Amino acid sequence: MRMAQDHLTIAFDEATQISNAAVARALALDPDSAVALRAQGFSERVQGIRSGNTDHYRRAVAVLTRAVAIEPGNADGWFLLGNAQSALGRDSDALPSLRKAIAIDPLNRGALTVTGVTLANLGRIDEAERQYQTVIDLFPDYSPALLSLARLRIATGRLNAAVPPLRRARAIDDDAAAGLALAYVYLNLGMEPEADRTLDSIATSPTASAIATAAKMLVHRRHAELLAFARAQYATTKDPLWQNAIAMMALLTGDGETARSYFATALPGLFLPQPRADGAPFDMMSAASALDVTGDHAQARRVMRLILAQPVPPGPIDGAIVNARINARAGLGDTAGAVAELEAAVERGYRTPYEFDMFTRIAQQASSLASANAKAVGVTTERLLGATREK
């Protein structure tokens, strides 16, 4: 699962099948095996990342809580638990878990790095940057710390400063995640040729190369071509990443029914009479758009209100959350509220009108993802772009 997610070097479907079978056999032999529970927790977290469904993170926290109860002296158990808690937004719980890991193993570089992530999520930006620098000083070739430092700088509006750690991570092991992040930075800096060249150079594995190809299609708005590409990739790999791409491209090409069908399967909580948040805000907003364009305006509005009910993290700006909240407010007819969201985000360092997962300018998404309210969204997005240029 680590090879499939962190390094994109084997197919996700293959990794999931192997992992699930191995974990099931291990737990059948010993239901209280802490090492098997740790493996299960890690696998659930990866499945949460790829599917977008936060129920995987909840299961990860549950099994990892069992693991540390069984083997409290294992640093990796506390690290994995803290990482899963952070993925659920429970950073005040994650920080003590990570510090227990570090107390047991002061050189656990995973725990040291995710401590920086957690500090950033809690709004302790300077501490987080110092934490990443400490890890990089200890482990100069540890690319996850370099990538985390770059992401913090992107989120706080320091795009130029994010370039050196990303270049360094790429030089160490041709890190595909660093390559995608570097292309994203170039794109937001207005350096489209550099972004294209970076995406063209990502060839760590067939998975990484395919994701880079998809990103380039997004940059150049080749949505119908990407829809066909994503269908072919999913038919071959069964990776939920490509199902999500199919749904998003279906929305951008006017096929709301296909998108709705996907979100009903991936995020079923959003389709309940009283919707339940079982996905990230951007995915929830995409599902609301699918509901809206297929005529279920009442449920779309319920989901939009649910998005706005989610607490805004105190840490650095998350462009996907900004995007979701802007579209939700505009979709509910609150143009003034959407403008206020944008102004607050820019004040906090928002400098990325291209959203990472979509490699698409926010104004382009607005006209496609909330068609019933495109005019209102267009007003707010143009205000955002103007404010960003002035900054």
3-class secondary structure for the chain?
CHHHHCCCCCCHHHHHHHHHHHHHHHHHHCCCCHHHHHHHHHHHHHHHHHHCECHHHHHHHHHHHHHHHHCCCCHHHHHHHHHHHHHCCCHHHHHHHHHHHHHHCCCCHHHHHHHHHHHHHCCCHHHHHHHHHHHHHHCCCCHHHHHHHHHHHHHCCCHHHHHHHHHHHHHHHCCHHHHHHHHHHHHHCCCHHHHHHHHHHCCCCHHHHHHHHHHHHHHCCCHHHHHHHHHHHHHHHCCHHHHHHHHHHHHHCCCHHHHHHHHHHHCHHHHCCCCCCCECHHHHHHHHHHHHHCCCHHHHHHHHHHHHHCCCCCCCCCHHHHHHHHHHHHHCCCHHHHHHHHHHHHHCCCCCCEECCCCEEHHHHHHHHCHHHHHHHHHHHHHHHHHHHHC
The mean-pLDDT minimum among 97-101, 185-189, 365-369 falls in 365-369
Q: What's the pLDDT band for 290 if we cut at 50, 70, 90?
A: very high
pLDDT score of 158 more than 80: yes
- The predicted-structure confidence for 172-202, as pLDDT tens digits, reads as follows 878 888 999 999 999 999 999 999 999 999 9
The mean-pLDDT minimum among 132-136, 249-253, 302-306 falls in 249-253
Q: How many CB atoms lie within 10 A of CB 197?
A: 12
Cα separation, 345 vs 56, whole angstroms:
29
Mean pLDDT across the stretch 351-358? 82
The mean-pLDDT minimum among 18-32, 214-228, 247-261, 361-375 falls in 361-375
Model pLDDT, residue 55: 93
Mean pLDDT across the stretch 228-255? 92
Model pLDDT, residue 327: 87
Per-residue tokens: 198: 């970076």
Q: What's the pLDDT band for 336 if we cut at 50, 70, 90?
A: confident
pLDDT score of 365 more than 80: no
Mean pLDDT score of the chain: 89
- The predicted-structure confidence for 322-331, as pLDDT tens digits, reads as follows 889 988 998 8
383 or 235, greater pLDDT? 235
β-pair partners for 33: none
pLDDT score of 277 more than 90: yes
29 or 362, greater pLDDT? 29
Cα separation, 147 vs 154, whole angstroms:
10
pLDDT score of 81 more than 70: yes
Q: What's the pLDDT band for 363 if we cut at 50, 70, 90?
A: low
- The predicted-structure confidence for 214-239, as pLDDT tens digits, reads as follows 999 999 999 999 999 999 999 998 88
Mean pLDDT across the stretch 111-138? 97
Please state the pTM of the whole predicted model.
0.88
β-pair partners for 354: 361
3 or 114, greater pLDDT? 114
pLDDT score of 366 more than 80: no
Q: How many CB atoms lie within 10 A of CB 204?
A: 18
- The predicted-structure confidence for 7-39, as pLDDT tens digits, reads as follows 778 888 899 999 999 999 999 999 999 999 999
Mean pLDDT across the stretch 150-164? 96
pLDDT score of 361 more than 60: yes
Model pLDDT, residue 371: 47
Cα separation, 78 vs 68, whole angstroms:
6
Mean pLDDT across the stretch 335-347? 86
Per-residue tokens: 333: 């007819």
Model pLDDT, residue 376: 46
Cα separation, 35 vs 297, whole angstroms:
47
pLDDT score of 391 more than 60: no
- Contacts made by residues 327-330, CB under 8 angstroms, sequence distance 24+: 327/285, 327/289, 327/365, 327/366, 327/369, 327/370, 327/377, 328/285, 328/288, 328/304, 329/304, 329/380, 330/366, 330/370, 330/373, 330/376, 330/377, 330/379, 330/380
Model pLDDT, residue 15: 92
Mean pLDDT across the stretch 327-353? 87
Q: 309 exposed, middle or buried (CB, 10 Å; 0-12, 13-18, 19+)? A: exposed
pLDDT score of 112 more than 70: yes
pLDDT score of 389 more than 70: no
Mean pLDDT across the stretch 105-133? 96
Highest-confidence range of 14-18, 108-112, 248-252, 368-372, by mean pLDDT? 108-112
pLDDT score of 307 more than 50: yes
